[in-house]
Amino acid sequence: MSISDWISVFMALIATTSTLVTYIVYRSSTDPLIIVYANPDLTRPSFVCLTIKNIGKGAAYDIAFRSDRLLPAEAFSIPVPEKMPSEMTSGPIIHGIPFLAPDQQISFAWGQYGGLYKFIGDTAITVNCSFHRVGNPYIFTRKLKSISRLDIKTFERSESSEHGFGPNIVKELKQLNKNIKILNTQ
């Protein structure tokens, strides 16, 4: 092989690599990505919400979840309870989600630290998620996957005080109402 043949092969490799990198960047900027995580409910002290969110740039279809262990449902107890909370038997994690737009999320009250810790313990639960991206209905589309881990131990020493103005406004209005009643009786 002559030097011009080697240069041609080298240029073909560069072009192929460039095309592959461009495709990977394009896919990462248009594909959906579904995550599942626990987060504190800032409007209701001590509550932990379970959130499913599409953090990707594309819409996700036919979202299905599979976890390595059972998930708790309505595990409401601040101290660790004696009785084990019930397992999750309904909802989006169990039945799946047909469509989730980019930046769309579904969030619901999952429990409180004590109840969730009683069910989950010290070992995180792995949630596998599978979904499809937008395209011609399943023609040349592969199933995308993501993995999330749910760990309640991260909330062990977290703050659970009021963060909203709502409860404080209600307290102030009640006090104002008492003061008005006192003024009216005088």
Gap between the terminal Cα atoms of the chain: 109
- Residues 153, 179, single domain; the answer is yes
Give pTM, 2 decimals.
0.75
- Residues 180, 89, single domain; the answer is yes
Task: Give the distance from CA 116 to its chain's centroid.
Answer: 16
User: Which residues, in sequence order, are CB contacts of 41 under 8 Å at separation 6+?
Assistant: 47, 48, 49, 109
State how far the Cα of 52 lies from the Cα of 93, in Å rounded to an integer: 9
- Residues 105, 149, single domain; the answer is yes
- Residues 18, 110, single domain; the answer is no
- Residues 130, 160, single domain; the answer is yes
pLDDT, tens digit, 9 for 90 and up, residues 21-76: 887 777 767 889 999 999 998 888 889 999 999 999 999 999 999 999 999 999 99
- Residues 17, 41, single domain; the answer is no
Q: Please count the CA atoms within 13 angstroms of the CA of 61 that sit on its side-chain side.
A: 10
- Residues 22, 77, single domain; the answer is no
- Residues 67, 159, single domain; the answer is yes
For 70-90, what is the mean pLDDT?
Answer: 93
pLDDT, tens digit, 9 for 90 and up, residues 135-171: 655 556 678 999 999 999 888 877 655 555 566 777 7
- Residues 20, 70, single domain; the answer is no
Per the structure, the complete domain to which residue 69 belongs is given by 32-185
